[in-house]
Structure 1
Amino acid sequence: MDYLSPTYFYDYESDEIEVFISEFRNTTLSKKEIAKQLYLKVRDTWRYNPYNLSLNKEKYRASEIAKRTNGHCIDKSIVLIASLRALDIPARIHLAKVKNHIGVERLIEKFGSNELTPHGMVDVFLNDKWLKISPTFNASLCAMLNVAPLDFDGENDAVLQPFNEEGTQFMEYLEDYGHFEDLPIAFMVKNAREHYPNIFNADSKQTEFLL
């Protein structure tokens, strides 16, 4: 498997991604430190927004996501993967199903469920091992939800916080779909249609959903 090359989705040779990672070029930082800082930059540069659902593969290119100010978990994972690969750090997409237990009223109203799927995270290869990291929730959103921001130490997995600061259940992992060499857009579309049938009209050609 190739987890370093650019692809249609991880188009890190684009101007947008090159600008985003420019501060990490010609640096004396170790790959571990680069990965930690890139994680934080992606986590907090884009405001988390789960309510913009697209079936248009063009919207999932790293260069296109870089032009926006908000994104969902898969958007942010794509940018992080592209940035890591550009800096010679192997990375791949990892998908799962999760359940949100805090602030779910709008989720249930729009999606008919407080389950989020497919949820995107990143597998990064550092010091001879794969680590799972989730740059989903920006620090300002975490403050609003009374959840500690999810940090990454470069040595251990950094997956979604199970509880908030008061010990209330926050995020729950329900199913692991595994990792993929490139973005599995067909799987993502099929998965969304199966889990959110109230959004999709069987005869509709609509590809963008602002919920």
Structure 2
Amino acid sequence: MTLDTYLTPTPAIDSDHPQVRRFTQVSVEGIEGVREQAVAIYYAVRDGIRYDPYRIATRLESARASATLANGYGYCVSKAVLMAAMGRVLNIPTRLGFADVRNHLTSDKLREVMGSDLFAWHGYVELWIEGRWVKATPAFNLSLCEKTGVKPLEFDGRTDSIFHPFDASGQRHMEYVTDHGQYADLPLALLLKEYERHYPGIMPELERTGGIEGDFEAEARADIS
């Protein structure tokens, strides 16, 4: 694939949506330079969109970047889709990456609901900056990190921003298990198939209601209190 592939709007990465374009332009107002703008959109998504692993899109219309922006919340994949769209608005080649991640600091309720501490097909972003691909992970918003003692991920546009293996107190945090590669668009059907394989107990509820009842930030904070 050429870099142009990663500049084009797609069904999920709807970088041509007016609100996505507006949010992007506001996020980089007064900021010049590809790297600097990439950093700006990272923080706009990381902290402007609340992390919520209980709201997982099972249909294209709710998986689009514009839907996540309108909702104001999303899980790792939907936040990555939004950041990818913003990168394309700025003419920065941007693609999605996926990996299985073992999360040692999930909430008790989420672990019970999932039946596992393995987050299958965790989503992140890769941006083409200064001649190479750089990873960015805008999943956990700052307020969540501060309340749970997790060191927030920073991004400088030069080095890969991926989950830390340990939290701020030295406890096990994240472990990357399997790399699933990079994609020009959201492979929603594949993700749902993998979620069904890993978490068969929660998929009917997600498909019926679009989410599971819960407040992850409050739960995670209570678990460490």
Give the TM-score of the pair, scaled to structure 2. 0.87
1: CA distance, partners of 2:27 / 2:110: 37
Where 1:38 maps in the other structure, the secondary structure is helix
Change beyond 3 A, Cα 1:112–1:155: same
- Give the aligned partner of residue 139 of structure 1: 142
Q: What displacement does 1:118 show?
A: 1.5
Distance 2:38 2:121 in 1: 24
Q: With structure 1 as the length reference, what TM-score do the two structures score?
A: 0.93
Shift of 1:17: 0.4
Aligned partners of 1:145 and 1:127: how far apart in 2?
35
Task: Show CA shifts across 1:128-159 (max 9, x none).
Answer: 11011100000111111112211011111000
| 8 Å CA contact 2:50, 2:73 repeated in 1 | yes
Structure 2: segments with no counterpart, 5+ residues: 214-225
Residue of 34, 37, 51 corresponding to 1:34: 37
**2:82 matches 1:79:** yes
Could you give the per-residue CA deviations for residues 73-105 of structure 1, whole angstroms, max 9, x where no partner exists?
Answer: 011101100000010000001011111111431
Matched residue of 1:10: which SS?
coil
Alpha-carbon shift at residue 54 of structure 1 (Å): 2.7
The 5 A counterparts of 1:2-41 are 2-23=5-26, 27=30, 29-41=32-44
Aligned residue-pair number: 209
Kindly report the root-mean-square deviation, in angstroms, between the aligned alpha carbons of the 2 structures.
Answer: 1.8
- Flag the structure with higher strand content: 1
Q: State the 4+ residue runs in structure 1 displaced beyond 3 angstroms.
A: 24-28, 204-207
Q: Distance in 1 between matches of 2:167 and 2:31?
A: 36
Q: Percent identity?
A: 35
More helix as a share of residues: 2
**Mind listing any 5+ residue stretches in structure 1 that lack a counterpart?**
none
- Within the alignment, does 1:60 sit opposite 2:78 as a pair? no
> Residue in 2 aligned with 1:121?
124
Matches within 5 A, 1:49-198: 49-198=52-201
Equivalent position SS for 1:194:
helix
